[in-house]
Amino acid sequence: MDTGRKAPVSHLQDDVEGEENTILIRRTLRSGQKFYYDGNVIVMGDVNPGAEVVATGHVIVMGQMRGMVHAGAEGDESAMVMAFRLLPTQLRIANHITRPPDDEVPPGTFPEVAKIKNGVVTIESYQTGRAAV
C-alpha cells in the first residue's frame, strides 16, 4: 500500500529532508576499502586513513573520519560532512577539494561539521540543531 510520502509537519518542512536515500554502514571502513552511494551515507564506525567514502548527499560518521570523504559528489554544494571526530586526509564537497593545513593541530574529541560557507569549505564544531544553518 503506497499512499505517497506523508507531508512533514508544516513548520519543519524546510528542515526535513527525505528525497534522497540514506544508507547505514554498521562497521569501520579500513584502509583500501571504498564505499560509494547515491544518497546520504551514515557510518556507524570509523573511516580509517586510506579508506574512501563518496556520496551524492551528506556523509555522517558516528566515529572518526580519517580517510577521504566526498559529499555532494554529483555537485550538490549544500552537502555536509559530519563526524564525531573530523580528521580527514582529504575532504571534498561537490567540486571543492580540500585538505587540512600541514601545520594543523588535530582538534579534540568532539563532533564537527564541514560545509561550504561563502564558497569555502569550513569546519566548525557541531551544535545540536544548527547543522543546516
Partner 1 sequence: MGEVIVVTSGKGGVGKTTTTANLGTGLAQLGNKVALVDADIGLRNLDVVLGLENRIVYDITDVTGGHCRLRQALIKDKRYEGLFLLPAAQTKDKTSVNPDQMKELCGDLRQEFDYVIIDCPAGIEQGFKNAIAGADRAVVVTTPEVSAVRDADRIVGLLEAAELRDPRLIVNRVRYKMVKAGDMMSIEDIIDILAIDLLGVVPEDEMVVITTNRGEAVICDDRSRSGQAYRNIVRRITGEQVPLLSLEEGGLMNRIRRMIGFK
Q: Which of 113, 120, 123, 65 is nearest to 97 (CA)?
A: 120
Q: Which is nearer to partner 1, 21 or 95 (CB)?
A: 95
Q: Count CA atoms within 13 Å of residue 46 on its CB side.
A: 11
> According to the binding rule CB under 8 A, does residue 40 interact with partner 1?
no
Smallest separation, CB 53 to partner 1 (Å): 14
| Contact status, residue 90 vs residue 49, Cβ threshold 8 Å | no
Among 8, 39, 75, 107, binds partner 1 (CB under 8 A): 107
| Residue 1 Cβ vs partner 1, minimum distance, rounded to whole Å | 39
Angstrom distance (rounded) from CA 58 to CA 78: 9
CB 96 within 8 A of CB 73: no
The x, y and z cell numbers of residue 123, run together, are 569546519
Distance in angstroms (rounded) separating the CA atoms of residues 47 and 30: 6
**Choices 16-24, 36-44, 54-62, 90-98; region in contact with partner 1 by CB under 8 A:** 90-98
35 pairs with which residues across the strands?
Answer: 53
Nearer to partner 1, 23 or 121 (CB): 121
Q: Is the Cβ of residue 4 or residue 108 nearer to partner 1 in the bound state?
A: 108
Q: Which stretch binds partner 1 (CB under 8 A): 12-20, 53-61, 70-78, 114-122?
A: 114-122
Q: What is the contact surface with partner 1 in residues (CB under 8 A)?
A: 27-33, 46, 48-50, 64, 66, 91, 96-101, 104, 107-110, 112, 114, 120-125, 127
